[in-house]
């Protein structure tokens, strides 16, 4: 693991790191904030998964999470959204697919299957690296994300309830198998059979019996993707059918940007911290 940069912030350390990934076959960059409480021993970990077109840097620079993370004593891990580099298949004129749009899945279709393995990368490889290299209490993990990353957080939590104690999301894509900006990507990564997409669709996972203790979701009412890509009412209905408590906050006048995310970031981290307390 190579240290790209380190800076002191709110008594803790914001770092950026790079390593060669066996899962993706590429170099991968990620960010980790370690709070000051970690000097006394391992602390809980909260994963943040970013949205379409983003890297680790978007939330690191705009998300305003460090003050709350330092207050509550939690590590924040911010992976990249997809593999990148020479030889990685991409569609440079399509922001909804390829680099910046990995959808936190393991692709099965050529030519994407060799590199686009973000589910295995995060859940196996990067998790192992965090456990080995940082003062992280891996028995206390939470996960959240934005948009495509909210989709990733919901699906990873539903499939790994023994690993994650808490899950929340900002403006998640709740049913990507039918959303206009994600269905084409799922088909390219996973093939033409919609049955193969269900493992990466929160609404479908709940219909198939997956459960999680509770969810927190914030959604802006002025989000331009609200009615076509995000559709929180589908998650609300799915949670009701599954008996999963959902706190859905419809935030009047907020859009899809990091102005929205940063406004409610402290609320989400306080919510995670309560559920990750010893």
Active site residues: 147, 223, 256
Strand partners, 27: 20
The length of the chain, given as a count of residues: 278
Q: Which of 123, 233, 218, 236 is nearest to 171 (CA)?
A: 218
Q: How far is residue 144's CA from residue 69's CA, in Å, rounded to a whole number?
A: 14
Number of neighbours of residue 167 by Cβ within 10 angstroms:
28
Q: Which of 155, 151, 146, 152 is nearest to 256 (CA)?
A: 146
Q: Which residue has the tokens 């198998």?
A: 177
Q: Which of 112, 272, 76, 120 is nearest to 184 (CA)?
A: 112
Contacts of 180 (CB under 8 A, 6+ apart): 228, 229
Largest CA distance in the chain: 51
């Amino acid at each position: 693991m190579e240290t790209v940069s380190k800076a002191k912030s709110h008594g803790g350390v914001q770092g950026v790191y790079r390593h060669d990934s066996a899962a993706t076959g590429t170099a991968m960059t990620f960010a980790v904030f370690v709070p000051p409480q970690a000097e006394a021993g391992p602390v809980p970990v909260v994963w943040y998964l970013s949205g379409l077109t983003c890297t680790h840097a978007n939330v690191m620079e705009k998300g305003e999470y460090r003050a709350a993370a330092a207050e509550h004593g939690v590590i924040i891990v911010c992976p990249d959204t997809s593999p990148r580099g020479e030889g990685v298949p991409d569609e440079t004129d399509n922001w909804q697919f390829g680099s910046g749009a990995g959808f936190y899945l393991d692709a099965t279709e050529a030519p994407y299957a060799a590199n686009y393995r973000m589910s295995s990368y995060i859940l196996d490889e990067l998790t192992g690296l965090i456990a080995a290299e940082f003062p992280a209490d891996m028995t206390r993990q939470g996960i959240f994300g934005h948009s495509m990353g909210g989709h990733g957080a919901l699906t990873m939590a539903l499939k790994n309830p023994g690993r994650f104690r808490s899950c929340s999301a900002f403006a998640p894509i709740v049913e990507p198998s039918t959303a206009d900006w994600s269905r084409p990507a799922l088909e390219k990564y996973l093939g033409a059979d919609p049955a193969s997409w269900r493992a990466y669709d929160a609404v479908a996972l709940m219909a198939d019996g997956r459960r999680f203790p509770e969810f927190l979701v914030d959604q802006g009412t002025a989000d331009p993707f609200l009615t076509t890509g995000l559709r929180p009412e589908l998650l609300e209905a799915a949670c009701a059918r599954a008996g999963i408590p959902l706190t859905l906050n419809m935030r009047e006048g907020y859009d899809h940007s990091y102005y929205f995310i940063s406004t409610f970031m402290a609320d989400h981290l306080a919510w995670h911290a309560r559920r990750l307390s010893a």
